[in-house]
Structure 1
Amino acid sequence: MLAAADRAHYVTTKEELADRYGRGPRPIRRRVFWVTVATAAILSVAGLSWLTVSNSLDDVGFDETGYELVDARTVTVSFQATPPAGTSFACAVQALDEDFGIVGWRVIEYPASEEITRALVETIPTVAQATTGTVQSCWAT
């Protein structure tokens, strides 16, 4: 059996454990650093989220519904556009040759309307024989 003096030797205080394993009171600088890092991360995510939402508010969707090769110098492109209600928009429509080179290009502007989906047909003059007609992009104006 151990004497009282020997048992006291085996009792470890919090300070001894902290010295042994390197756990001491955390300095305030470390907490400030992590609070700053967390705040910066939250603000970055919030900023990127806002940019994503604000850019999509003015997004103009479109779906090509067909094209027709009218003659060697003309193509018509049919498509549906879905702009935000009450927003004017523009679309870039192009005609391509068999090597996917652009042989005709036109930007068409459309006035604002309360219609959600608008069916459109546009004629594109070309400088050479085209094999297809497409909508390159649409955007709010």
Structure 2
Amino acid sequence: MSEPLHPTAATSSAPTAGAAATLDDRYGRTSGHKRRSRVIAIIAAIAVVVVFGAWVIWAGLDQANHGLDSQDVGYQIVSEHRAAVHSQISVDPGTTARCAVQVLDKSFTIVGWKVITLPKSADRTRNVTTDVNTTTRGVTGLIHDCWVP
């Protein structure tokens, strides 16, 4: 019976003030660490706001599409190696536009591709028929994309 049954002040497991300060330093629970964490969080929040603001400006103000709009009207498979794509393209009068026209086969593989240029015109909307050469028989034709060069 060399160990007492009840702990006394000498054998207590509660850390002393000096030991608690050492543990706080070891595990980063100091006031300096809290300040650094707060400063890092504020800087990260400011960075997120700046990036979001730049994206809003780029997406909202930099997208000058000149009223460009395209609509697929139809297509005609002329032969094994040729298709005609009918479309309606609207762009501001006096603006040149380019469009990529594509023909797809039954597995949605592009078998024909052509970039057309629409010269400046006084008319806003134009009906366009594009003949596209194909590598194999196509099953559909459409406007892939239009842009202002």
- Bin the TM-score by the shorter chain: 0.5 to 0.7
- Which runs of 5 or more structure 1 residues have no equivalent in the other structure? 1-35
1:38-91: CA deviation from partner (whole Å, max 9, x where unpaired) = 987776555333322344322522110100111111111111112233221110
CA distance in 2, matches of 1:85, 1:46: 33
Give the alignment's TM-score, normalised by structure 2.
0.61
Aligned to 1:48: 55
Output the CA distance in 1 between the equivalents of 2:138 and 2:48.
51
Amino acid at match of 2:58: L
Number of residue pairs the alignment of both structures matches: 114
Structure-2 change in CA distance of 1:53 and 1:130 (3 Å): same
SS at match of 1:58: coil
**Residues 89 and 52 (structure 1), Cα distance of their counterparts in 2 relative to 1, 3 Å cut:** same
Change (3 A) 1:68 1:113: same
Of 138, 141, 144 in structure 2, the residue corresponding to residue 136 of structure 1 is 144
Evaluate the alpha carbon distance shift between residue 113 and residue 99 of structure 1 in structure 2; reply closer, same or farther with a 3 A threshold: same
For residues 116-138 of structure 1, the C-alpha deviation after alignment (integer angstroms, 9 at most, x for no partner) is 22211111011111111111100
Matching of residue 76 in structure 1 with residue 92 in structure 2: no
Q: Kindly tell me: are residues 117 and 87 of structure 1, through their superposed partners in 2, closer, same or farther at Cα, counting changes over 3 Å?
A: same
Task: Provide the C-alpha distance between the structure 2 equivalents of 1:127 and 1:37, rounded to a whole number of angstroms.
Answer: 53
Give the structure 1 partner of residue 133 of structure 2. Answer: 125
**Partner residue of 2:97 out of 89, 100, 108:** 89
Tell me the distance in 1 between the aligned counterparts of 2:69 and 2:51: 28
Q: Counterpart amino acid of 1:88?
A: T
Partner of 2:38: none
Unaligned runs of 5+ in 2: 1-42
SS of the aligned residue for 1:56 comes to coil
RMSD across aligned positions (CA): 2.8
Alignment of 1:100 with 2:113, yes or no, is no
